[in-house]
Amino acid sequence: MLAHSRIVSRKLYNLNTIRCFSHLPLSVPIKLPNGLEYEQPTGLFINNKFVPSKQHKTFEVINPSTEEEICHVYEGREDDVETAVQAASNAFENGSWATIDPFIRGQCLHKLADLIEKDKEIVASIESLDNGKSIQNARGDVQLVINYLKSTAGIADKIDGQLINSGSNYFNYTKREPLGVCGQIIPWNFPLLMWAWKIAPALVTGNTVVMKTAEATPLSALYVSQFIPKAGIPPGVFNIVSGFGKIVGEAITTHPNIKKVAFTGSTKTGIHIYRSAATTLKKVTLELGGKSPNIVFGDANLKNAVQNIMTGIYFNSGEVCCAGSRVYVQDTVYDQLIEEIRAAAENVKVGDPFNENTFQGAQTSQMQLTKILEYVDIGKKEGATLVTGGERIGNKGYFVRPTIFSDVREDMRIVKEEIFGPVVTISKFSTIDEVVKMANDSEYGLAAGIHTSNINTAVKVADRLKAGTVWINTYNDFHPCVPFGGFNASGLGREMSMEALNGYLQVKGVRAKLYD
């Protein structure tokens, strides 16, 4: 989703920043800012155990709110990917997971959700520490993780084939079978939620997994992975190789024994993965970038619309692939609404993620902070009006004021290009045809919002928008039974719901001739 494993790290990482610790422990004690204490796994997770990388290299993990080091974790290389793929292949071939009663797979996923739920405050705190998002946003993510694992567990035994009638002389049927070893590459903006969105459909359908977490935010996925064996999932079924995209991501994408790659991240990286995976004809699903329109009609409940605009762009510090970063307001309420949006943005609490009143925490990296501020300068030079925000807060931590631009043209870069931060543009429209044309004038097609009290308007406009998800009188409102994914440059395939399972299954047709 909520994108992006942009294969960047907290600082301007390159491979020279990696250190070698021959005796780095496989877990380290960490005291969280809210006083909670826990043991953070630091190893790769292979065959249900945390292990050091073969070359014993590590990389640092930075707290984006303080710019201080949290810890180091082991950094995998190609040989570690090979070990993980072998473990996953063995687990798939021995039938300990792929051929068992699907109901048992569902029970394991449900148990995994229960284990996370019992520890959810620590899990949310790790996510907030590592990513920089507010604790209230992190708690929401963890609840979505629990809900999705339980929802997917409930459909484990409902993956059916069909009988095909071709006359009395034949018995025909189809089976939907797992693919085998699946590679998964997840992003830094929703580290734990994307962990769940990826592993749940892969595991419930009987596949095994080798995953690369984002190098900027590996901690929460490593922590919850300790629950995998406790949930009854056999060794080798799920594996994590922490590391960098150019090494671990590339090794996963091109490995001949990996049958499918799932990636959430930037469109540019997604295209590269799509091309690389083609060399071994892998199945591919991609959840990529977005520049989503959020449309407000004059008859909308304006109070609710303003709140949904705030959620649409400032939730998760704006680091959301489906963020409603282009707001279109009908001319009859434009002047009123732009003032209300400005006031609401200036009242957004930005700062310490562990402050219970904070809504917008830190940006996840120095690189992302720099990119956002560069786009603010671009918007000013293009002639847009800076209504509010557009500056860094303080000198420590990657904090940005919620930012609004008005008086924009549709050809401006701040309107066309994904900024991936708390920056929104506001445009005026008069008619349905006008706003539909503007909303669809994008290479992306991930999501859209419509705010109106007229159900006829809502349905007709939703039908005309080129977006994989359309929210009506709400925004960034996810449910495990509703599919999520994009049109056009926003990707291929879907997350969540029964639709997500199709990316991890292949269909076998069986035709038997019957004799008298």
User: What residues have CB less than 8 Å from 101, skipping those under 6 apart?
Assistant: 157
**284 and 297 fall within a common domain:** no
194 and 339 share one domain: no
Q: What is the mean pLDDT of the chain?
A: 95
Write out pLDDT tens, residues 333-344: 999 999 999 999
Could you tell me which residues are beta bridge partners of residue 170?
513
The side-by-side arrangement of strands in the sheet containing 57-63 is: 19-20, 57-63, 68-74
**What is the structure's pLDDT at 5?**
36
Whether residues 129 and 230 share a domain: the answer is yes
Q: State whether residue 154 is helix, strand or coil.
A: coil
Residues 320, 255 share a domain: no
| Same structural domain, 476 and 349 | yes
Catalytic residue among 75, 215, 287, 418: 287
Region 28-48 average pLDDT:
98
Q: What is the CATH number for 385?
A: 3.40.309.10
Query: What pLDDT, on a 0 to 100 scale, did the predictor assign at position 394?
Result: 95
Q: Are residues 352 and 454 in the same domain?
A: yes
What is the distance between the alpha carbons of residues 400 and 385, in angstroms, rounded to a whole number?
18
Judge whether 515 lies within some domain: no
pLDDT in tens, 389-431: 999 999 999 999 999 999 999 999 999 999 999 999 999 999 9
Residue 17, pLDDT above cutoff 50: no
| 20 and 77 part of one domain | yes
Q: Is the same domain home to 326 and 204?
A: no
Which tokens belong to 299? 């008859």
- Same domain (yes/no): 40, 170: yes
Task: Tell me, yes or no, whether 183 and 119 share the same domain.
Answer: yes
279-315 confidence digits (pLDDT tens): 999 999 999 999 999 999 999 999 999 999 999 999 9
Contact 294, 31 (CB under 8 A): no
Give the CATH number of the domain where residue 178 resides: 3.40.605.10
504: pLDDT strictly greater than 60: yes
Choose among 324, 343, 348: nearest CA to 451.
324
In our burial notation (b when 16+ CB lie closer than 10 A, e otherwise), range 417-456 reads bbbbbbbbbbbbbeeeeebbebbbebebbbbbbbbbeeee
pLDDT at 21: 53
> Does any domain span residue 9?
no
Strands (E), 235-332: 238-240, 258-264, 283-287, 293-296, 326-330
pLDDT at position 516, please?
80
Total-model pTM: 0.94
Domain extent for 105:
15-288+496-502
Count of structural domains, the chain? 2
- Range of weakest confidence among 155-159, 185-189, 282-286, 360-364: 155-159
pLDDT of residue 3: 39
117 is known as an active-site residue: no
Alpha carbon distance 273, 262 (integer Å): 9
